[in-house]
Amino acid sequence: MKMTKSRGLNTYVKKVSLPFLYTNPIGKFLLTEEVANIWTNFTDPYKNNDSVSKVKDALEDIKDPLRQYYMSTIPQAKMYRGLLLQGYMVSPKFLSNLEEFPLRSDDVFLISYPRSGTTWTEEVLSCIISEADPDFLSIDLHERVVHLEVGAPFRHESVISSIPSPRLLATHLPYQYCPKQLRNLNCKVILVLRNPKDQLVSYYHFHETAGFLGCKRHPWNKFFDCYLQGHLVYGSWFDHTKAWWEQAKKHPDKILAISYEEMQTDLTKMVKLIGEFLGKPVKEEMIPKIINHCSFNNMKRNKAVNRSQVPVKGLFDNQLSNFMRSGRIGDWMSHFTPGQNEIFDEFYEKQMSTTGLRLTFTLEETKAIMTTEGRVINQQTTINPE
């Protein structure tokens, strides 16, 4: 099956820098929707906008010093209906119309909290949808799987609209912030979950290499506290996970929930499962090719995947060498102190005990469950109402 994709972002912006786009008055006027210009119909995109605001305009009113600290480190940070978002490559004009964003019935949406295996799953989906077409897989990943809220600094909606069906789309947005048609599940959704201890560690290191998150090495203890209090970009992992998991339990025909740990332990099984869910059963002869293509080491070397070929300079630091950092299950054990582990476990139990969601925190635990039960995630689970 041959597939094509519009060269979305590259159509408009090629190898400009973040400073030029967001601090240079000429660049900002010509190439973003941050100011009144041709892209915003010459109106201030923030004025009289109840949905989107600049964090810097309200930073002094933030009473929580930890939250204020974190928010001040995110360049050009935005608030979307109270949710903290990155500032770079996020169009205020697009966000203001996000609620009514139209979906197509054959869209495939990947939902995840940041650093939960998003890139890996995007590549797996690309292989399944295209039947591992090498021409399609040679296209940069950010053009094969377009993120909903982050993308071209102007005309982002046109970029998404120009993608031929079936579109592969992704978002990190919590359920309640997604477009109405996505909340109504007008297309199929893959929900990727990762145990929050490893996700926290990955997000912590990612902040140091991501230019759109400030390229700042936060004090570990302070970042740990920010995480538990839900101060980070995209808010609380717990709130995000609980809301989407609730929908996955109610609508297993529309949402397939998988875990990063399951993919690490038995990728073959998960590839087949995803293919069946999407109505695209993967041929047996294609499985070894997909598994090899999507191995962690190959992904790390693949320039179309590892974000080494993004069209805007400065989105990542250190030539993106750390974009795919470790990938190990249980990496959290080299970061958490015994005291932090105890605090986290208590908080996790309080937040998640009644959800019926089971996640695994070690490779051994994952292997044991998948060997005996086949899956870690069980969308048919019965919830104790107490």
The larger pLDDT score, comparing residue 311 to residue 201, is at: 201
The rounded percent of the chain whose pLDDT value lies above 90 is: 78
The full set of domain ranges for the chain reads 52-373
pLDDT band at residue 242 under the 50/70/90 scheme? very high
**Residue 188, both tokens:** 């199929």
Give the active site residue among 156, 172, 240, 293: 172
pLDDT band at residue 386 under the 50/70/90 scheme? very low
Residue 374 has pLDDT above 70, yes or no: yes
Q: What is the pLDDT of residues 5-36, one digit of tens each?
A: 544 444 455 678 899 999 999 999 999 999 99
Cα Rg, the chain, nearest whole Å: 20
**Residue 274, both tokens:** 């995803």
Residue 291 has pLDDT above 60, yes or no: yes
Provide the CATH topology of domain 52-373.
Answer: Rossmann fold (3.40.50)
- Report the pLDDT averaged over residues 165-179: 97
| pLDDT on residue 312 | 82
Cα first-last separation, the chain: 50
Residue type, 284: E
Number of residues that this document lists for the chain: 386
Q: Check if the beta carbon of residue 315 is closer than 8 Å to that of residue 17.
A: no
| pLDDT on residue 4 | 57
Q: CA 364 to CA 78: how far, in whole Å?
A: 40
| pLDDT on residue 295 | 78
pLDDT band at residue 127 under the 50/70/90 scheme? very high
The larger pLDDT score, comparing residue 327 to residue 341, is at: 341
Q: CA 367 to CA 240: how far, in whole Å?
A: 26
| pLDDT on residue 347 | 98
| pLDDT on residue 138 | 87
Q: CA 194 to CA 263: how far, in whole Å?
A: 10
pLDDT band at residue 383 under the 50/70/90 scheme? very low
- Report the pLDDT averaged over residues 61-66: 92
**Residue 156, both tokens:** 């982002």
Q: What is the pLDDT of residues 294-339, one digit of tens each?
A: 877 777 666 656 555 667 888 887 544 455 556 789 999 999 999 9
Told to judge if 172 belongs to the known catalytic residues of this protein, a careful annotator would answer yes
The rounded percent of the chain whose pLDDT value lies above 70 is: 89
| pLDDT on residue 153 | 92
pLDDT band at residue 3 under the 50/70/90 scheme? low
Lowest pLDDT segment from 99-103, 152-156, 171-175, 347-351: 152-156
